[in-house]
Amino acid sequence: MLQKRKAPLAVACAVASALLVISCGGSDDNGSTPTTPTTPTTPQADNSCQVLASNGSTVVVGSNQPGDPALPEPATGYRTGLKPVYAKTYMVSTSNAYASAAGCAVLQKGGSAADAAVAVQAVLGLTVPEATGMGSGGFMLYYDAAAKTIQAYDGRESAPAAATENYLRYVDDATDTSLPKPNARASGRSIGTIGVPRLIERVQKEHGKLAWKDLFGDAISLSTNGFPIGGRLAQAIASNATNLKRDPEATAYFFNADGTPKALGTILKNPAYANTLSAMAAQGADALYKGPIANDIIAKIGSTVAADGTPTTPGKTTLADLAAYEAKLRTPVCVTYRAYWICGAPPPTSGGITVAAAMQILENFDMASLKPNPVDGEGGKPTVQGVHRVSEAERLAYADRDKYVADTDFVPLPGGTWDTMLNKTYMQSRAALIDPAHSMGTATAGNLGPVPLGVSSLIEHGTNHYSIVDAQGNVVSATTSVESSMGSFHMTNGFLLNNQLTDFSAAPTDTSGNPIANRVQPGKRPRSSMAPTMVFRKAADGSMGDFLMATGSPGGGTIPQYVVKTLVGVLDWGLDAQQASGLVDFGASNNPTTTIGGEHPNIDISNGGNNDPLITGLKALGHTISTSAQSSGVNTILRTQTGGASVLQGGTDPRREGVVLGNTFTP
């Protein structure tokens, strides 16, 4: 069983390794930073970018002082005792302390949420490369507080122009129908045209305040001077060793000279990534879509022999595919839920629709009466009926998503709009299928018209999420991913390339010959489950009112479940940002298994779970229970009231290595 550990002390907004410190004020004009770690000091009067410990002291991120959240420790199941963090006007919540500090530094300098997102993403690509990076893709919601508008940005990777419907299952449609070597994921076929660089560039161009070139300093300094390998990265290196060693650059970076994986706490330097970021700072995202780095990306995708001499099936991505890529502006999926509006990302991610469907179904039940009992700092003990209703609603939502949702530039939704899947009348009919006394096990997709589509229940993996609010009230909720841990295992210029094309259905049709919506097509973007989410209060006239909440999570195909439990936790059960982020992970895809995260301290998995009344109660309703440890990474920011003032309240998932920072105070 994974160890449950206590939370660290609070921290100050600064980034450091054994060799450097990057302060909240950022680097000086020439981009240099001190090379000697600083020690904790008395906090500033406004406590900007600091979280105060109970004794009033602060700890610099990366200073190696007691309580430093960047201190490397094994990847563990759950940090008990985390408290909600309060900030006056700006806040950043990520699953990595270095990334939170970099984003907070930008906010303190007056940067917008879009500016901070660039700094956060650049650091995440260094410190959590197993989950995200410049070779990945993702989705971002942006709320413009002055205009009171919310926009959805699609930075999902795309299939090359030369891809066929059999791209993932045949070496060649005409001459070689054997599987790609060594398998689809570890071959060049899994690598989609990268999206994150264009994504963060577009959002920053449209909503940034600071100079683009000044947003990479913290990540460049950390790359150059080094950072200690954390628990999740150390675990990812060791568990993926065989595949990583097929790539010479990954081998040189992640392994010692004797071939052993670089271990927890090892100072890891990445000058190649520093060079990539320096090129991006000077040239914009073009640095990765044109020129030498782009040439290296194409060469890596097209490689035919691994470092060990075994064959690798090349991908068919070209420089033209890279040059043609664009991050797309799309209309978010927004639905009402009780006194709120919930907004999510639209296709090609299914996350927004799946979350909205589950919540719309749950709106038909008195969820407030099913709140955890008792409630504690970790979110409390969920009730049997609370978990049952949520899980059944998710089964119904996943059933529809598995059949109907794909890249709408290629396969339109039923009726040409997500409203067909989410209107109140249809949602009421789906809710009526829930039996409070018995689980449905596997749900059937709704009949949404003559759409002859096969069902694909492919579940993705990986990802990372961050939430940001700036001093002007602008908000970012972003989820980015390389897909599976360490992506495709192909590395170039200091970053890993994704394996997102394996999120397509490898088979273009089902057993009856019906086309699968999420099949491979040239230029198409694979279906995702990423679900960056925002919540707004309903105005008096029923329109979208004030911002209330930003949240989201990594977790691949289970992302909608992690987001739904967080939304229900806040909107129905009155949990704070930390309680909702730490709440037991529970839910279901469209199969008979209901997950109850056994890493949580409020779940008793002894004796096969038979000592826990939640587990036995669900089994009595026909649920098959899995208590496998969950790896959600929920990062939540709420707008709330304290002492009559509007403030921010943040929480980060205890299952990861995150921290919440801002111009904090103790209420």
Residues that are catalytic? 463
* Parallel/antiparallel/unpaired status of strands 464-469 and 475-481: antiparallel
Q: Which residues contact 263 (CB under 8 A, 6 or more apart)?
A: 229, 234
Q: Which residues contact 17 (CB under 8 A, 6 or more apart)?
A: 37, 62, 222, 225, 226, 227, 228, 267
Strands (E), 539-634: 544-551, 586-587, 593-596, 624-626
Place of tokens 């150059």: 224
Q: Which residues contact 21 (CB under 8 A, 6 or more apart)?
A: 14, 15, 33, 34, 36, 37, 38, 60, 62, 63
In contact, 341 and 149? CB cutoff 8 Å: no
Which H or E run contains 312? none
* Cα end-to-end distance, the chain, whole Å: 36
In contact, 479 and 177? CB cutoff 8 Å: no
Q: For residue 514, give the 3-state DSSP assignment.
A: coil
Strands (E), 180-320: 227-228, 267-268
Take residue 59 and report the two structure tokens written for it. 């700890």
The closest alpha carbon to 14, from 648, 649, 659, belongs to: 659
Other CB atoms within 10 A of residue 25 CB: 13
Take residue 460 and report the two structure tokens written for it. 């993705």
- Local structure of residue 410 (DSSP, 8 states): T
Please tell me the distance from the alpha carbon of residue 522 to that of residue 635, in angstroms, as a whole number. Answer: 35
Q: Which residues contact 634 (CB under 8 A, 6 or more apart)?
A: 465, 551, 552, 553, 562, 563, 566, 580, 581, 651, 652, 653
Other CB atoms within 10 A of residue 417 CB: 13
Please tell me the distance from the alpha carbon of residue 257 to that of residue 71, in angstroms, as a whole number. Answer: 25
Q: Across the chain, which distance is largest between two alpha carbons, in Å?
A: 72
Please tell me the distance from the alpha carbon of residue 588 to that of residue 611, in angstroms, as a whole number. Answer: 22
Other CB atoms within 10 A of residue 94 CB: 34
Please tell me the distance from the alpha carbon of residue 138 to that of residue 199, in angstroms, as a whole number. Answer: 8
Q: Which residues contact 146 (CB under 8 A, 6 or more apart)?
A: 472
Take residue 98 and report the two structure tokens written for it. 């270095």
Q: For residue 12, give the 3-state DSSP assignment.
A: strand
420 Rama sector, left if φ>0, alpha if ψ -120 to 50, beta otherwise: alpha
Please tell me the distance from the alpha carbon of residue 47 to that of residue 464, in angstroms, as a whole number. Answer: 28
Other CB atoms within 10 A of residue 80 CB: 16
Take residue 408 and report the two structure tokens written for it. 């709408």
In contact, 592 and 619? CB cutoff 8 Å: no
Q: Which residues of 307-319 are buried (b: 16+ CB within 10 A; e: fewer)?
A: beeeebbbbbbbe
